[in-house]
Amino acid sequence: MSIKHINSRKSMGILCILTSSLFFALMSFFVRLAGDLPTMQKAFFRNFIAAVFMFFVLLKGGGFRPQKGSLPYLLLRSTCGTIGLICNFYAIDHMNISDANMLNKLSPFFAIMFSALLLKERANRWEWGAVALAFLGALFVAKPTFNIAGLPAMIGILGGLGAGTAYTFVRLLGQRGERSEVIILFFSLFSSIVVLPFAIAGYQPMSLPQLVCLILAGCAATGGQVFITRAYTYAPAKEISVFDYSQVIFAAALGFLFLDQIPDRWSILGYIIIIAAAAGKWYYNLHCKQN
């Protein structure tokens, strides 16, 4: 494979992950714009639309049957992912969307921790240092007060933990040869079924603009899933994962332009620390670890 071809694939990977980040930021924006609706009601729309889309993707080719032995890991991935999603949506509703997105972006660092525990992929002192630095940044974003005012930030961090654990099982499933389309469909259906009783029990009537916002949130989330999956088919995570943090910039811009949300100086400092930890980890994986 020529250098030119490798660079072209890497460029496509970066473009796809930037597009994915924009879609996920739009998802957060539309979830917040939908207003004071129950978190479970919002989560159902996000997952049901993604499930319908992936159903038709698999219907056109490939079939729905998972790999032999994948079912327990699909259930674990979906359980952790559902917890992460619900916590993330709660944080989006109760914090600046840029803050909520940044806390959710702790997921790669949680993935390092759980990969060491579950996949026996040992992290070295530099990678553990990046984890510690990221959590220091999270403290500046969360500004823990140990009372009810700090609850959304704590739940946002829990969302990052759920997502990071889910990504660990995604990696395990990928190693077993499971298709990404099956993983996405299983997660979307599982989450829809789990949250549906809560969504029905706490259902609040929606105006047409609220319904449109939830449909757009589901479409944006589906676009984000599709493009992030495609990104990692073009280039390895160690080369492009740092660009996923552009989601926080997109979310901050949307919050500032349309929701009058301005991150405070401590949140901005936290963003800088967490992104610096991610950039350092990316640089180390790309230039030092292989040497």
pTM of structure: 0.83
The amino acid occupying position 140 is F
| Closest alpha carbon to 134 in 291, 256, 16, 248 | 248
8: pLDDT strictly greater than 60: yes
Phi, psi of 25 (to 5 degrees): -65, -40
Phi-psi region of 24 (alpha: psi -120 to 50; beta: other; left: phi over 0): alpha
How many whole angstroms from its chain centre is CA 89?
A: 11
Query: SS3 string of 197-261?
Result: HHHHHCCCCCCHHHHHHHHHHHHHHHHHHHHHHHHHHHCCHHHHHHHHHHHHHHHHHHHHHHCCC
pLDDT of residue 144: 65
Size (the chain), residues: 291
226 or 4: which leads in pLDDT: 226
48: pLDDT strictly greater than 90: yes
Alpha-carbon radius of gyration of the chain: 18
211: Cβ contacts below 8 Å, ≥ 6 apart? none
Instruction: Give the whole-angstrom CA distance, residue 220 versus residue 198.
Output: 23
- Number of domains into which the chain is organized: 1
2: Cβ contacts below 8 Å, ≥ 6 apart? none
Range of the domain at 108: 3-288
Query: Mind listing the pLDDT tens digit for each residue in 154-211?
Result: 899 999 899 888 888 887 888 788 888 898 899 999 999 999 999 999 999 999 999 9
pLDDT of residue 254: 92
Average pLDDT over residues 50-77: 89
Average per-residue pLDDT in the chain? 85
| Closest alpha carbon to 41 in 223, 213, 265, 228 | 213
Instruction: Give the whole-angstrom CA distance, residue 169 versus residue 41.
Output: 26
> For residue 142, how many other CB atoms are within 10 A of its CB?
24
Query: Mind listing the pLDDT tens digit for each residue in 161-170?
Result: 998 888 888 8
H or E stretch at 142: helix 125-142
Query: Mind listing the pLDDT tens digit for each residue in 224-248?
Result: 888 887 887 777 666 677 788 888 8
Query: Mind listing the pLDDT tens digit for each residue in 121-161?
Result: 676 788 778 878 888 887 888 776 656 667 888 899 999 89
The DSSP symbol for 69 reads T
| pLDDT confidence bin for 78, thresholds 50/70/90 | very high
Query: Mind listing the pLDDT tens digit for each residue in 256-269?
Result: 899 888 888 888 89
Q: Which segment, 51-60, 93-102, 186-195, is predicted with the most confidence on average?
A: 186-195
Q: Under a CB-based contact definition with an 8 Å cutoff, are residues 138 and 103 in contact?
A: yes
What is the sign, positive or negative, of the torsion defined by CA atoms of 183, 186, 192, 198? Answer: negative
